[in-house]
Amino acid sequence: MTEPVPRPTAAALALSFLGIALASFGGGLSAAAQRELVERRRWLDRDEFLSALTLCRMLPGPNQVNMAVYVGARYGRLRGALASVAGLVLVPTAILLGLGAAYFHYRHLPALDAALRGAVAAAAGMTLAMGVKVATPLIRQPAGIALAVATFVAVHLLRWPLVPVVAVLGPLGMLWAWSRANDAEGAE
């Protein structure tokens, strides 16, 4: 049995989301958020993180801002949500403005182009690592694999619009998750 996690302060929320933003500059926010919120801080368990991430992706607005609001509001209501969003957005925005000014001043340098290519490769690697980490528990779940493959085929190969794919496969995924939860409760 794990010990309960103490309720984070607004400052802890802001610093955690600042860390997420800085660790994932250029991409890989979901991987950094999963590492910070689930593994390091234990504010969410893996299943709650994935559910929250799914909800945040379906809502309008940037996914990680939605996640900051979700986690901040859960632990600190409005104050926690504002602190989490501030941590995620304020310092990275200042850094981005500075980097943007530097880019337009030095964009002709080949070293800058090489650095940006390296950042893209690192972000792609972080995203891939997150996908592998999230998908690993599904290896023994044929229905979960079938839903993931069906989604990939529909959206990326057949290029069907995302809204109808989510409208059909989303309820199927919820039904599958609900039946798994009920099976787990019945086994206890």
The residue with tokens 């901040």 is: 72
**Helices 142-152 and 162-187 sit at what angle, rounded to 10 degrees?**
170
- At 120, the amino acid letter reads V
Q: How is 115-128 classified by DSSP, letter by letter?
A: HHHHHHHHHHHHHH
Residue 139, pLDDT > 60, answer yes
Euclidean distance between the first and the last CA atom of the chain, given in angstroms as a whole number: 15
What residues make up the domain containing 171? Answer: 141-188
CA–CA separation, 15 and 43 (whole Å) = 14
Structure tokens at 50: 């994935």
Q: pTM for the full model?
A: 0.66
Kindly state whether residues 158 and 67 are assigned to the same domain. Answer: no
Q: How far apart are CA 53 and CA 50, in angstroms?
A: 5
Q: Which of 98, 123, 138 is the last residue of a domain?
A: 138
| 143 compared with 78, residue with greater pLDDT | 78
Residue 1 has pLDDT above 60, yes or no: no
pLDDT band for 167, please (50, 70, 90 cuts): very high
Domain count of the fold of the chain = 2
What pLDDT shows up at residue 84?
97
**pLDDT band at residue 2, thresholds of 50, 70 and 90?**
low
Residue identified by tokens 């528990």 is 137
Same domain, 130 and 146: no
Question: How far is residue 40's CA from residue 35's CA, in Å, rounded to a whole number?
Answer: 6
- Cα 23 to Cα 35: distance, rounded to the nearest angstrom: 10
In terms of domains, do 166 and 109 share one? no
The C-alpha angle 30, 102, 113, rounded to 5 degrees, equals 70
Q: Is the dihedral of CA 117, 120, 126, 128 positive or negative?
A: negative
Q: Are residues 125 and 161 in the same domain?
A: no
Q: Are 10 and 76 in contact (CB under 8 A)?
A: yes
Among 138, 155, 177, residue at a domain's last position: 138
3 within domain boundaries? no
Confidence tier at 130 by pLDDT (50, 70, 90):
confident
Which tokens hold the place of 70? 């979700």
My answer on whether 151 and 131 are in the same domain is no
Instruction: Report the 10 Å Cβ neighbour count for 169.
Output: 18
How long is the chain? 188
Establish if 96 belongs to a structural domain: yes
